[in-house]
Amino acid sequence: MAREVFMPKAGMDMQEGRIIRWLAETGSRVKTGEPLLEIETDKVAMEVESPADGVLLKRYFEENAVVPVATIIGYVGEEGESVPDRPAMAGGLDRAEGEAVLREEAERESRKTYEYKVAVIGAGPAGYHAALVAAKAGRKTVLFEKDLIGGIGVNRGSIPLKVYMRTARLAEDISHAEESGIRTGSGRIEADAVRIHDNAHAVAEGIRNDVISRLGKYGVEIVREEAHLIGPHHIRAGQKTYRAENVILCCGSVARRLDIPGVDQPEIIGPEKMFELTAFPRRMVIIGGGVIGCEMAAAWNRFGTEVTIVERQDRLIPTFDRDVSAEIEKSFREHGIQVITDGIVERFDRRENRPVTVLRDGSEIPGELVLLAVGRQPELSALGDFRKQLEYERGKIAVDEYCRTNMDHIYACGDITNRSILEPSAVKMGEAAALTACGVPKMVKLNRAPLCLYTMPEAAGIGLTEQQAAKRGEILVGRCPFSANGRAAASGETEGFVKVIADRGYGEILGVHVVGAAATEMIVEAKTMMDMEITVYEVADIIHPHPSWSEAFMDACAAAVGESTMN
């Protein structure tokens, strides 16, 4: 199938590019990655590479043509393949002419034998966003979901967990209320597990119903059956076969299980089962000190459960900067959470009708409940026998920057791909896949997706850690402790810091890492500054509200360049 050559978007502000010259003639053979032409943007001259091996079948524009970004400027494919006489949205056309071209294309597509322009398998965040984008673009769309609309995140993951975290934070605040002058009496704070469970499920149901309402508003057909891809364009669900021109796979992931002796005991559960509990265990062991394990440890600790975390690496949340890991571990220990690092689980024994976690060093940890928070793996059962037709990287579906697989009309997004396992990234992938499938190609860039941890205090990070940055060259490091921040002091939440890492030569921000009460909100400013290539020198000069958490980011940037008065 012929591959499109697009005018690339080489910067946030780029709207169009000028073709300087073609480096390949129509009909000549080209290879993947070989330069096809040179273009000029408002900043720089650059080469556009071939998207595939084959023949340059078509050049729509010649030298000095000014072409809008994302416009198809040519095709590469096999000799003799037919391609359109004109691109879907030709540069130089006025808006009315361009829209007419798109309408003509839509009419041609509607005369084909496909029932749907877009079929989406999986209604998690990536899936339902993809379906909404396709439907809003006027394309007939069908969405398959075998379980609950919204996926694991909405129903048994991040959303319910945030309700538990909010309740735990409320319990924490009440426990310190008298320090702030609020008398609460001498009674012990008790967590009502049933009420918290019901609240979490009510919030999830509200979000789920809102998503269903929006899907209905835009005419998305929802099929509540398990779907299987049985051919390049055919999907089997229930007793019916559906035919779609484009398929977007958003099948999500499932919790990993440990393949070790004793793991099948009923009290050893995965994260989703935690939200079915209507009583808090007295003692709980969490295997895995990543994001999920740490968030659940923080919440259940405030509900009165004795928590032990076992992490096989040398620190908690090993994907974060080391200083962040150390601060979170310090906070956990202060709140009575036992942390065991470099801990490898050998097996699970059973005594007194309860599981006992046995580590490789021989130590034993009893508990009423064991949570396996050891990561997730892609859910690929929807592919069936068709699975072997797709290409993979480290066990996940390989996709390009448009979320296309090795089969141009089949897209994949989120946990099942080699690109990202973060929910915000999955949403952007779903949107890009849907737009591309609808003839409006959109690249997705996932190079700066923030990592967030919703514990108490929170943590967030973006970009390089200090260790990673130091390997690239000389760096600047600036810190501002929240103990020096007016808003933190006034709020009684002075744990944590902001840490900024920058290139010594130019002041480019390479990484930002935050531990503190508002970390997951503050990281957005850091991402924006990094995306816009604002330096630490410039951030240090930006006037921030006072008192505010965000002043700590400004002060950390000032510290990096030796201008802070807070240290």
pLDDT (tens digit, 9 = 90+) per residue, 388-427? 899 999 899 999 999 999 998 999 999 999 887 788 899 9
| Amino acid 566: pLDDT | 64
> Is 268-374 in CATH node 2.40.50.1020?
no
What is the residue whose two structure tokens read 């309740």?
A: 167
Token duo for residue 347: 């097996």
Residue 253 one-letter amino acid: S
Token duo for residue 113: 């034998």
Confidence of residue 42 (pLDDT cuts 50, 70, 90): low
Where is pLDDT greater, at 149 or 33?
Answer: 149
Query: Which H or E run includes 6?
Result: strand 3-6
Where is pLDDT greater, at 110 or 6?
Answer: 6
Strands (E), 159-316: 221-223, 227-229, 234-237, 240-249, 253-255, 268-269, 283-287, 306-311
Question: Can you tell me whether residue 121 is helix, strand or coil?
Answer: strand
Residue 344 clears pLDDT 90, i.e. is over it: yes
| Amino acid 491: pLDDT | 93
Confidence of residue 190 (pLDDT cuts 50, 70, 90): confident
| Amino acid 179: pLDDT | 84
Residue 224 clears pLDDT 50, i.e. is over it: yes
Token duo for residue 50: 């071939």
| Amino acid 114: pLDDT | 81
| Amino acid 112: pLDDT | 55
Please compute the mean of the pLDDT values over residues 296-322 and round it to a whole number: 97
Tell me which of 110-119, 244-253, 340-349 is least confident. 110-119
| Amino acid 276: pLDDT | 95
Rounded distance between C-alpha atoms, residue 258 and residue 276, angstroms: 21
| Amino acid 94: pLDDT | 40
Which CATH entry fits the domain spanning 457-560: 3.30.390.30, 3.40.50.12780, 3.20.20.70, 3.30.70.2190?
3.30.390.30
Please compute the mean of the pLDDT values over residues 369-378 and round it to a whole number: 95
Residue 111 clears pLDDT 60, i.e. is over it: no
Confidence of residue 41 (pLDDT cuts 50, 70, 90): confident
Q: What is 365-422 written as a DSSP string?
A: EE-SEEEE---EEE--GGGGGGGGGS-EETTEE---TT-B-SSTTEEE-GGGBSS---
Confidence of residue 96 (pLDDT cuts 50, 70, 90): very low
* Domain spans, the chain: 3-110, 116-151+200-254+378-437, 268-374, 457-560
| Amino acid 91: pLDDT | 42
> Is 3-110 in CATH node 2.40.50.100?
yes
Residue 99 clears pLDDT 50, i.e. is over it: no
Strands (E), 114-257: 116-121, 141-144, 221-223, 227-229, 234-237, 240-249, 253-255
What percent of the chain is modeled with pLDDT above 70?
Answer: 93
State the average pLDDT for the chain. 91
Q: Comparing 116-151+200-254+378-437 with 268-374, is the CATH topology the same?
A: yes
Q: Which CATH superfamily is domain 116-151+200-254+378-437 in?
A: FAD/NAD(P)-binding domain (3.50.50.60)
Phi-psi category of 280—alpha, beta or left, where left has phi over 0 and alpha has psi -120 to 50? beta
Token duo for residue 199: 């609240």
